[in-house]
Amino acid sequence: MYVPNTNLTFPDMHTPDLENLIKEYAEIYEYPAGQVFGSPGEIIGGVYYIKEGRTKHYMLSHDGIEKVLYVLSSGWMFGETPYILNTRTGLYSQTEIKSVLYKICSSNVDLLMEKSNLFRNTLMQCYAHKLLILRCEIENLSFNSCKNRIKRLFCASVDLENISDPQWYDLKIKYTHYQLGVIVGAARVTISKLIQELCAETFIRVLNRQIQINRRLYNDYISTINQDWYNKEE
């Protein structure tokens, strides 16, 4: 997963050996799509592992404005921060699709951290990936315009494998204007205006209600982002 171009949805990293290990120490929970199963202030009392499905983790302002931090897929863990700091969660957690979760209680997390290098390394990798994503999101929100944030999100969502038109890329994820606003931190009316501007600039087009990205402009934009990232890392 290349961090600067992330669309906040973490790809599957399912590991059968890890899943079989965790299953012995966990309770199984099944949730339908759209189920909120965690809220700020709640005691998690352990760590979750996503066996199947996809979960969204977000904050909500007093006036109802939502900000997504990340979306996790099969093989990812969450709840590391409350576990490590022995505190309550500060996020909402919600299933995006039907999901099966394994919950490992804190005492069993302690046991697995001592017993299994695979478990310990995976937990730390999950934690480190989220820190990198949040760092990039802070940079994105602080230094990039709303238009650039949308362009980055679209570029991170292109489907490079299934190409129907050699001049245009489809998106793997179909966003509503509301979802775009939640991710980039803007009102829906602002999103609509910026979509029109990007169409006028031929960076994107809307075909059969689906957004496509100009292949040449995508490559130019990604090259610029990558060079900026490498310059900072040096």
Q: What per-residue confidence (pLDDT) applies to 226?
A: 63
pLDDT band with cut points at 50, 70 and 90 for residue 3: very low
Average pLDDT over the chain reads: 88
What is the rounded distance in angstroms from the CA atom of residue 77 to the CA atom of residue 122? 8
The letter for the amino acid at 117 is: N
Is the pTM higher than 0.75?
A: no
Given 1.10.645.10, 2.60.120.10, 2.40.30.200, 3.30.70.3400, which CATH number is that of 3-141? Answer: 2.60.120.10
36-45, 136-145, 157-166, 196-205: least confidently modelled range: 136-145
Has residue 4 got a pLDDT over 50?
Answer: no
Q: What is the pLDDT of residues 39-75, one digit of tens each?
A: 999 999 999 999 999 999 998 877 677 788 888 999 9
The CATH number that domain 144-233 falls under is: 1.10.10.10
Has residue 232 got a pLDDT over 60?
Answer: no
- Say if residues 38 and 93 touch (Cβ distance below 8 Å): yes
pLDDT band with cut points at 50, 70 and 90 for residue 2: very low
Give the Cβ contact number of residue 88 at 10 Å: 12
Start-end of CATH 2.60.120.10 domains in the chain: 3-141
